[in-house]
Amino acid sequence: MKSGFVTIVGRPNVGKSTLLNRLAGQKIAIVTNKPQTTRTAITGILNRDDAQIIFTDTPGIHKPKNKLGEKMAETIDDASSGVDVILYLIDGTDKGIGTANEYILKKVIDYKTKTILVITKVDLVQKENLLELIKMYSERHNFEAIIPISAKEDDGVDVLVDKVVELLPEGPLYYDREEFTNQTERQIIEETIREKALKVLDDEIPHGIAVEVMSMKKRKGKKLYDIEATIYCERKSHKGIIIGKDGEKLKVIGTRAREDIEEMMQCSINLQLWVKVKEGWRDNSSKLNQVFKG
Ligand SMILES: Nc1nc2c(ncn2[C@@H]2O[C@H](COP(=O)(O)OP(=O)(O)OP(=O)(O)O)[C@@H](O)[C@H]2O)c(=O)[nH]1
Ligand SMILES: [Mg+2]
């Protein structure tokens, strides 16, 4: 039996959460086309007859611009220390290494942990570009392996898992086989609402929102939950945008989130959403602690 801990790192939007969901076989981490979607370390567990691998998805590595960004950076370093293997993801559509990846490459080398370079989104990539990237990166560090994948099309992911298992030590089962994540139901609900908000709002309010479930109650004798949640934003003007004309935007966010939550919980949901302003919460320690529980 092989077992161990594997952390997924890389720049924002490279496909870390998409890969985590594919590895865990279910949706645990939210995915959007916007950078800096993931804010905390999210664990997904893969069980095989011969192995148990605990994968941790992390926020995209970037230069912190506020206190939230600093917390996210700390999360990445914490999640990357003392693990057995690091998966360093780069985007297959990148043309060169670039400044962001120069910074990450240095960090990854500093971690001094066995690292697999994973080239993502190969469904979008010309072979020549792939070979170019492999050449550039292999000249910079002695990776345990370089593996191209498409998490979207489930291409190369099994090769990646085999390589990870090969690198893991003999070990015990760390978690019961039916466990698949460190995320609570409440956290998954909050993240689902945030995902829908990011998608529905598009670029209007990029990153300044947070979601908190205020209450969650089961109706007696029914397969129905009443859930109340608050969407926090940074400015009064943002509140108007989130709610939309005649409440239209908030309604769409609520409907889409409800559908996903119902599927996850296998029961009916009555979801009530509220929008509140917490001015500048991402850069104020006490407000950050109130809103962001990561
Ligand atoms: N075509 C293609 N798109 C992908 C693939 N993997 C991820 N994407 C897309 O890339 C975007 C970012 O994916 P995420 O998984 O959220 O990326 P991330 O690295 O977790 O991003 P952050 O949490 O912001 O750091 C989404 O629009 C995904 O659908 C892939 O294999 N192929
Ligand atoms: Mg992510």
Contact indicator for 31, 37 with CB cutoff of 8 Å? yes
Pocket perturbation via mutation, ligand 1, pick of 7, 9, 18 by most ligand atoms within 8 A of CB: 18
Query: Helix, strand or coil for residue 125?
Result: coil
**Nearest Cα residue to 87 out of 156, 160, 28, 136:** 160
Q: What is the average pLDDT value for the chain, to the nearest integer?
A: 96
What are the pLDDT digits (tens) for 56-70?
999 999 999 999 999
Whole-angstrom Cα distance, residue 20 to residue 8?
8
- What is the reported pLDDT for 32? 95
Rounded to an integer, what distance in angstroms lies between the CA atom of residue 221 and that of residue 163?
49
User: For residue 90, how far is its CA from the centre of ligand 1 (angstroms)?
Assistant: 11
Q: What is the CA radius of gyration of the chain?
A: 20
Q: Which of 12-16, 83-87, 114-118, 201-205 has the lowest mean pLDDT?
A: 201-205
Q: How far apart are CA 17 and CA 37, in angstroms?
A: 9
Give per-residue pLDDT as tens, 200-251. Answer: 997 777 679 999 999 999 999 999 999 999 999 999 999 999 999 999 999 9
List, in sequence order, every residue forming a beta bridge with 232; answer none if it has no partner. Answer: 210, 276
**120 CA closest ligand 1 atom index:** 31
Return the pLDDT at 206: 64
For the CA of 150, the closest atom of ligand 1 is 31
For each of the domains in the chain, give its residue range(s) and CATH number, in order of start: 2-167 (3.40.50.300), 185-291 (3.30.300.20)
Predicted TM-score (pTM) of the model is 0.97
Read off the pLDDT of residues 119-144 as tens digits, 9 standing for 90 and up.
999 999 999 999 999 999 999 999 99
Strand partners, 43: 56
> Measured in angstroms, how far is the CA atom of residue 182 from the centroid of ligand 2?
15
Distances 291 to 23, 138, 214 between C-alpha atoms, Å? 30, 42, 11
Of the residues 8, 31, 63, which should be mutated to test ligand 1's pocket, given the most ligand atoms within 8 Å of the CB? 31
Model confidence at 170, pLDDT cuts 50, 70, 90, reads very high
C-beta atoms surrounding 109 within 10 Å? 14
Distance CA(72)–CA(24), nearest Å, equals 22
Residue nearest to atom 26 of ligand 1 (CA): 33
Give the bridge partners for 147, in sequence order.
118
